[in-house]
Amino acid sequence: MRKDVFLQSVYAGMLSSIVYTLVELFLIRIGFLHTSVWNAAAGMFLPINQVTTQLGTLIGLITHIGIGGLWGIGFYILLLFFGVNKSALKGVLFGLYLWIFGAIMMHWGVTSYVYFDLNEQVGAFLGTLVFGLSLGFLVPRLTMQGISEQNSVGLFAKMTAQPAYKPFQDNDDNNI
């Protein structure tokens, strides 16, 4: 039975979002953070005074996990283009990109719940790095099982490794 790689990538992204949530819960529990990424996610749909309610927390968690599923698809596509090798490192770099992307989106006003406190940004930075590492671990294992090492190079590497000029070869050498 063949796997549906689309659904498996969404699943890997959602699991990674849950790992990210657990990291932030730990940081909140030890007193390092006072807010979370799911509050910012809830702020995409709710006014600021409803973000920290039970409904806001539920909407925020669902949104956060759903967005993680979308990033799982994005990371799968990234691995198709750049190869499966060193996927954990690629995942951490992907997490770094997501942290920068999230900060930019907050500056653009995508959410009503914005946080720029140093501790909050460090917490978001750690969370997105763990999210990316989790993606780097889960996506290849859930979506790319059975791919040989030869086929794991990536489309981008295969395209750029080809010579730019191929001389014309005449196969009619026998007609001289």
Q: Pick the range with the lowest mean pLDDT from 1-10, 32-41, 125-134, 157-166.
A: 157-166
Tell me if 175 is assigned to some domain: no
pLDDT at residue 121, as a whole number: 83
Tell me if 174 is assigned to some domain: no
pLDDT at residue 34, as a whole number: 83
pLDDT, mean over the chain: 82
Tell me if 157 is assigned to some domain: no
Tell me if 100 is assigned to some domain: yes
pLDDT at residue 175, as a whole number: 55
Tell me if 173 is assigned to some domain: no
Q: Which residue has the higher pLDDT, 113 or 46?
A: 46
Tell me if 140 is assigned to some domain: yes
Tell me if 169 is assigned to some domain: no
State the residue range of the domain holding 20.
5-145
Residue 107 CA to residue 121 CA, distance in Å, equals 13
Tell me if 164 is assigned to some domain: no
Residue 139 scores a pLDDT above 70: yes
Q: Could you give the number of structural domains in the chain?
A: 1
pLDDT class of 160 with cuts at 50, 70, 90: low
Mean pLDDT, range 145-171, rounded to an integer: 59
Residue 15 scores a pLDDT above 80: yes
pLDDT class of 155 with cuts at 50, 70, 90: low
pLDDT tens, residue by residue, 21-55: 999 999 989 988 888 888 888 888 888 888 889 99
